[in-house]
Amino acid sequence: MTAVEHVVDGSELRTKRAVLQAFARALSFPDYFGANLDALYDCLTDLSWLPDGAHRLHWTHAEVLRRSDPAAFAGISEVLADAVAANPRLTVQVSA
């Protein structure tokens, strides 16, 4: 079974907030999403509002955030890795 792909174009995303908002849009996060790293983890490990099956988050041009805010990039990357480990329905690809 092929995963549903959710693409986030990071070519213009230079802040943690912008990336989190883009993830929320791409994955149709519920309105209660708190736009912080804890909330990102909570939503990525749930995904109950999405159709059953596998989902793949593909973050392109992630180097834009890595260059503009290395700490934010590191924090988001850590949450993505932790969420993938906790949620068998989720895979993540981060591309430069």
Residues 24-74 have pLDDT tens digits of 999 999 999 999 999 999 999 999 999 999 999 999 999 999 999 999 999
Q: How far apart are CA 93 and CA 71, in angstroms?
A: 19
The pTM of the full predicted model, rounded to 2 decimals, is 0.95
Q: In this predicted structure, what is the pLDDT of residue 17?
A: 97
Q: How far apart are CA 30 and CA 7, in angstroms?
A: 18
Q: In this predicted structure, what is the pLDDT of residue 96?
A: 86
In the chain, domain spans: 4-94
**CATH for the 4-94 domain, from 2.40.50.100, 3.30.370.10, 3.30.420.80, 1.20.1250.20:** 3.30.370.10
Q: In this predicted structure, what is the pLDDT of residue 18?
A: 98
Would the pLDDT of 1 be above 80?
no
Q: What is the mean pLDDT of residues 62-91?
A: 98
